[in-house]
Amino acid sequence: MKDHQTPPLRHGENLSEERRAASRVTVIGMLLDAFLGAIKIIGGTLFHSQALLVDGIHSLSDVASDFVVLGVMRVSRQGPDADHPYGHQRIETMGTMVLGSFLIAVGAALAWDNTLRLMGEGAVELPQWPVLVAATVSIGSKEWIYRYTRRVGIRIRSDLIIANAWHSRTDAFSSVIVLFSTAGAMLGYVWLDILAAVVISAIIIHIGWKFTWDSVKELVDTGLSPEDTRLLREVAMNIDGVRNVHELRSRRMGHDIMLDIHLVVRPEISVSEGHQIGMKVVSAMRERLDNILDINFHIDAENDEDHPHTSEQLPTREEIRERLSWHIEKLPANSRLRLHYLRNKVHMELFMEIPESEALPDAQRISRELGKYAWFGSLRIWHAHTDNQPVI
């Protein structure tokens, strides 16, 4: 019947506030990362801990990723424009992919270097107790910034900020490994320090791969999970007036969901009633999943999955009215014609006002004559008598 696209829920003021919140938490994290990175690199060098040194490089990689986050969030939180009618959130997805790729590269380089150390001479000097202090400070600081950043990311619905939060938590995990490996090394198991550096590198690679793969799936328009798709279908089917749901398609843009859905309704209802049913479906879906940004719904009079699509070659209203005038004498100009295009046939309802002195059209005869057209389905004539007496 028609397509309708619901307006996005997010507006310029919200985007501006989200951008400020993202920038604030990212700058705080960046300053903390720079401080911890310097402390751990200096401490690892002075007090003979390869694991702490790698952990410090990990922290400095957080600083680089924070710069990426700041730039991407500034661009991605702009409102829609003529060139980007759906907004700029895919830029955030690209930023997440760059961040993940960067982590993979850093982790791989560190893993390779420390694997060679582990297979070679290894560590010859024992780590000293300041390494334990630096690792403990790092654990507490990074866990705090993880919780703060993740809370902001969830509030502004930003996968990039949430990803950056998990990047911070991997630093906390790394520091836990440093803490235990250093304790073990100080007890005489010197090789534990380099093994810990390799494990930390593997964690960095794993987190980077997860960010990158999730971003790739979004960029190629991977849909919702089968569970969420089934949920949305059930929500639509429970709306009064919906006969069937088909072609439910979804894709993600950042944390938001975009939907295209076809709703099958009774063919004889009006366009406005079909639109109202569609709006009720939209409202119900947004109650179940609050991160749906946009729903484009199409109202169908029949299930296209069960029957072939109606051909565009069927005659138009003007062509049909012209054909009717050939078979109905004195077709009133004010007659109304309602058309139903179903199963590649045209079913017609003709509403006429006829003076009482004139005979009614013979619907059966007219239907027989129209039957020679392959597109003809049926004809019903509704009539009302008019009083053609002059008004005094």
Rounded-to-integer distance, Cα 72 and Cα 64, Å: 13
Question: Are 139 and 61 in a shared domain?
Answer: yes
- If we measure between CA atoms, which residue out of 263, 214, 335, 211 comes closest to residue 3? 263
Question: Are 282 and 323 in a shared domain?
Answer: no
Q: pLDDT band at residue 4, thresholds of 50, 70 and 90?
A: low
Residues contacting 164, CB < 8 A, separation 6+? 26, 29, 65, 66, 69, 99, 149, 153
Question: Are 96 and 178 in a shared domain?
Answer: yes
Contact 89, 253 (CB under 8 A): yes
pTM (2 decimals)?
Answer: 0.55
Q: Does 157 score more than 80 pLDDT?
A: no
Condensed to tens digits (0 to 9), the pLDDT of residues 293-307 reads 788 888 888 776 666
Q: Does 256 score more than 80 pLDDT?
A: no
User: Is 311 within the bounds of a domain?
Assistant: no
User: Is 137 within the bounds of a domain?
Assistant: yes
Question: Are 230 and 161 in a shared domain?
Answer: no
Q: Does 231 score more than 70 pLDDT?
A: yes
Domain CATH for 364: 3.30.70.1350
Question: Are 243 and 296 in a shared domain?
Answer: yes
Q: How many domains does the chain have?
A: 3
Question: Are 45 and 150 in a shared domain?
Answer: yes
Question: Are 80 and 190 in a shared domain?
Answer: yes
Contact 39, 56 (CB under 8 A): yes
Q: Which residue has the tokens 């099958």?
A: 264
Domain CATH for 50: 1.20.1510.10
- If we measure between CA atoms, which residue out of 105, 113, 107, 116 comes closest to residue 171? 107
Question: Are 211 and 232 in a shared domain?
Answer: no
Question: Are 284 and 321 in a shared domain?
Answer: no
Encoded amino acid at 43, one letter: G
User: Is 294 within the bounds of a domain?
Assistant: yes
Mean pLDDT of 92-109: 80
Condensed to tens digits (0 to 9), the pLDDT of residues 267-278 reads 888 888 889 999
User: Is 184 within the bounds of a domain?
Assistant: yes
Residue 350 pLDDT: 87
Query: What is the share, in percent, of the chain residues with pLDDT greater than 70?
Result: 82
Domain limit, last residue, from 300, 326, 351: 300
User: Is 115 within the bounds of a domain?
Assistant: yes
User: Is 307 within the bounds of a domain?
Assistant: no
Phi and psi for 71 in degrees, rounded to 5? -65, -45
User: Is 21 within the bounds of a domain?
Assistant: yes
Phi and psi for 306 in degrees, rounded to 5? -90, -25
Question: Are 195 and 82 in a shared domain?
Answer: yes
Condensed to tens digits (0 to 9), the pLDDT of residues 44-90 reads 888 877 778 877 877 777 787 777 777 766 666 666 666 665 665 66
Question: Are 284 and 330 in a shared domain?
Answer: no
Domain that holds residue 296: 226-300
- 78-92, 149-163, 223-237, 250-264: segment of lowest average pLDDT: 78-92
Domain limit, last residue, from 186, 219, 252: 219
Question: Are 77 and 125 in a shared domain?
Answer: yes
Residue 306 pLDDT: 62
Residue 9 pLDDT: 44
Encoded amino acid at 303, one letter: N
Domain limit, last residue, from 180, 202, 219: 219
Strand-pair category, 336-342 with 256-264? unpaired
User: Is 312 within the bounds of a domain?
Assistant: no
Q: Provide the token pair at 205.
A: 């690679």
Q: Provide the token pair at 314.
A: 């069927």
